Amino acid sequence: MLVLALDTATPTLVVGLAATGPDGRVLAEAALASGTRHAELLTPTVTAVLAEAGVTLTDVGALVVGLGPGPYTGLRVGIVTAAALGDALGLPVHGVCSLDAVGSGARVVVTDARRKEVHWRAYDDAGAPTTEPGVGRPEDLELPDLPLVGDVRFAERLGRDVTPAEVSTAGLLRAVQPLLEAPPEPLVPLYLRRPDAVPNVVRKPVTR
Amino acid sequence: MADTQPLVLGFETSCDETGIGLVRGQTLLSDALATSMAEHERFGGVIPEIASRAHLEAMVPTVHRALAEAGVGFGDVDAVAVTSGPGLTGALLVGVAAAKAYALALGVPLYGVNHLAAHVAVDELEHGRLAEPSIAMLVSGGHSSLLLVPDLAQDVQPLGQTVDDAAGEAFDKVARVLGLPFPGGPPIDRAAREGDPRSIAFPRGLTGPRDAPYDFSFSGLKTAVARWVEARERAGEPVPVADVAAAFQEAVVDVLTAKAVRACREHGVDHLVVGGGVAANSRLRAVAQERCDAAGIVLRVPSPRLCTDNGAMVAALGSRLVEAGVAPSAPDLGADSSLPVTVVSQ
Ligand SMILES: [Zn+2]
């Protein structure tokens, strides 16, 4: 079965087409330094990746999308795109934690959470997550003593080396593989923070 | 209505309403709406992040409601239209991304359209073809504009707009001063019915001989109301809520209708369309009707349900664009929070 993979949880827009099964492999992939232009570039990139693989959307059997954590506006672009594609095509859409698709094996993944914080998650030797995804200031985190992979810009503040790694189609495929047989769960973004908003309880006078 | 006319699926997510509408030609088939207004109430204004989260949750279910209400399936859709601006960036992007994905999956053209032009287009669903040129006045919590519309599909010209608060924003703020709920339009409209609009003389912004004839300003009015109410409270006197509401509403309505009629007269246009959430205000509708009748202008106001943001208005404009043979949007369409009104489609 062909799986279309999307992730917009980081500034790198990831679109890939992969075949599942014992000889599962990535057939075509694009990783664009898209920054804040995920909404502009995502569907054209899907078209380009499908064309590169020589298939059309009707050949796709399932979708996988990264649910974050990541900057919210870009994150929602990927999730709603996957949800809409799956809805219109009648295909299952599986969500995975985007951090699960970064690096492999025993590790702690760190990505940019903005506001001078990182998103992070730890994994065991088999690559299975051992913590929930978290968010925090690098200086305050007590991360497990495992190799750090992800966004190297945080090495100094973490006081440890970070091996560069990003979300990949192979990583998304690996994360979704165990989910493919079951009906998909609802696509709930991993926001990790509440919206910034203060209830308006007292009326402020405009004059004194 | 002939089935040969194109079926357009419209997406609207520029503020707090997730609107999905289906239009065939100029016929409204369905108008499904999900709103996050209740979540914004306790903040006294729309919180963009809350609105964006709600759009994502509501998207697929609202599309399905629209299809079910219209009795059509995905295979029947001929084109997709989406509000690509102006509006809240994060909110717009949820709709734009969804619309792009549906268009791609269905293999149909996509039109990124201007929210303001869509407010004008929706009137065609109820009152038939727009007279061109028309003057359009769009008043809501997010915008207050006067437009000259020679050709709704490709030529919309700005005449004026608010220089500070939108008209609907002034209603929200005055409602808060009066202890009325958010959004402020409906409760002020209700309270004003019991009040005397001439009881207090509130200022009419930008109505002097040297002021921009078609621009609006509501910030001074809002402050004047707040000062008046606070002076009463400081003096330990009761605040006549109905009178304040009526006098405030009258000031807004007087300025809006006077400027709209003046725009018609000075441009030799005899059709006025009023849209946006504030167009649901009963006093605005009544005064606009009186003044248009007196000036020989044909007034068109959509029913209140279609005045507020919805998906049908986007589909209605999309339908117009298809009919006019306007080129669809490029595959790299994005959202433009400050899309100029002159750009009917991107
Ligand atoms: Zn509007």
Angstroms from A32 CA to nearest CA on chain B: 14
* Phi, psi of B215, deg, nearest 5: -90, 160
| A160 in a structural domain | yes
Chain B residues near residue A50 by CB distance under 8 angstroms: none
| A173 in a structural domain | yes
Residues A22 and A78 both lie in one domain:
yes
Look at B18 and A194; give whichever has higher pLDDT: B18
Kindly state whether B68 is in contact with chain A, defined as any CB-CB distance less than 8 angstroms: no
Q: What CATH number did the domain enclosing A134 receive?
A: 3.30.420
Whether the predicted pLDDT of A202 surpasses 60:
no
A99, A121 Cβ separation under 8 angstroms = yes
What band does B3 get if pLDDT is binned at 50, 70 and 90? low
CB pairs under 8 A between A and B: 118
E-strand spans in B140-199? 144-151, 155-161
Which strands sit side by side in the sheet containing B271-275, from one edge to the other? B155-161, B144-151, B134-139, B271-275, B298-300
User: pLDDT of A38-75, one tens digit each?
Assistant: 999 999 999 999 999 999 999 999 999 999 999 999 99
Kindly state whether B331 is in contact with chain A, defined as any CB-CB distance less than 8 angstroms: yes
For CA atoms B319, B320, B326, B328, the dihedral sign is: negative
Residues A91 and A121 both lie in one domain:
no
User: pLDDT of B99-146, one tens digit each?
Assistant: 999 999 999 999 999 999 999 999 999 999 999 999 999 999 888 999
Residues A83 and A175 both lie in one domain:
yes
Percentages (nearest 5) of helix, strand, coil residues in chain A: 30, 30, 40
Expressed as residue numbers, the domain containing A146 is 103-164
Q: What is the mean predicted confidence (pLDDT) over A83-108?
A: 98
| A138 in a structural domain | yes
* CA atoms of B335 and A161, how far apart (whole Å): 39
Kindly state whether B45 is in contact with chain A, defined as any CB-CB distance less than 8 angstroms: yes
What band does A195 get if pLDDT is binned at 50, 70 and 90? confident
Residues 113-132 of A with CB under 8 A from B: none
Among B44, B101, B223, select the one facing A200 at the smallest CB separation. Answer: B44
| A59 in a structural domain | yes
Residues A70 and A160 both lie in one domain:
no
What band does B38 get if pLDDT is binned at 50, 70 and 90? confident
Q: What is the mean predicted confidence (pLDDT) over B59-75?
A: 98
Among B53, B101, B177, select the one facing A84 at the smallest CB separation. Answer: B101
Looking at A53-57, A84-88, A191-195, which range is the least confident one? Answer: A191-195
Nearest to B168 by CA among B337, B11, B16: B16
Chain A residues near residue B90 by CB distance under 8 angstroms: 72-73, 76
Residues A45 and A6 both lie in one domain:
yes
Residues A43 and A79 both lie in one domain:
yes
Kindly state whether A81 is in contact with chain B, defined as any CB-CB distance less than 8 angstroms: yes
Q: B227 and A76 in contact by Cβ < 8 A?
A: no
| A85 in a structural domain | yes
Residues A47 and A125 both lie in one domain:
no
CA-nearest residue to B48 within chain A is A195
Residues A171 and A77 both lie in one domain:
yes
Q: What is the mean predicted confidence (pLDDT) over B231-255?
A: 97
| A196 in a structural domain | no
Domain count, chain A: 2
- CA distance to B48, B202, B309, B310, per residue, from B15 (Å): 8, 30, 8, 10
Nearest to A75 by CA among A32, A11, A149: A11
Looking at A190-204, B67-81, B310-324, which range is the least confident one? Answer: A190-204
Whether the predicted pLDDT of A207 surpasses 60:
no
Q: What is the ipTM of this complex?
A: 0.94
Kindly state whether B91 is in contact with chain A, defined as any CB-CB distance less than 8 angstroms: no
* CA atoms of A174 and B77, how far apart (whole Å): 36
Residues A33 and A83 both lie in one domain:
yes
pTM: 0.94
A84, B102 Cβ separation under 8 angstroms = yes
Whether the predicted pLDDT of A203 surpasses 80:
no
Among B43, B94, B227, select the one facing A76 at the smallest CB separation. Answer: B94
* CA atoms of B169 and B6, how far apart (whole Å): 37
Kindly state whether A85 is in contact with chain B, defined as any CB-CB distance less than 8 angstroms: yes
Residue B72: its pLDDT value, please?
A: 98
Nearest to B318 by CA among B91, B152, B130, B149: B152
Residue A205: its pLDDT value, please?
A: 47
| A52 in a structural domain | yes
Residue A197: its pLDDT value, please?
A: 64
Residues A10 and A88 both lie in one domain:
yes
Residue A200: its pLDDT value, please?
A: 52
| A28 in a structural domain | yes
Kindly state whether A160 is in contact with chain B, defined as any CB-CB distance less than 8 angstroms: no
Residues A78 and A175 both lie in one domain:
yes
User: pLDDT of B286-305, one tens digit each?
Assistant: 999 999 999 999 999 999 99
pLDDT, mean over chain B: 96
Residues A35 and A77 both lie in one domain:
yes
Q: What is the mean predicted confidence (pLDDT) over B324-335?
A: 98
Q: What CATH number did the domain enclosing A83 receive?
A: 3.30.420.40
Whether the predicted pLDDT of B179 surpasses 70:
yes
Q: What is the mean predicted confidence (pLDDT) over B81-108?
A: 98
CA-nearest residue to A200 within chain B is B43
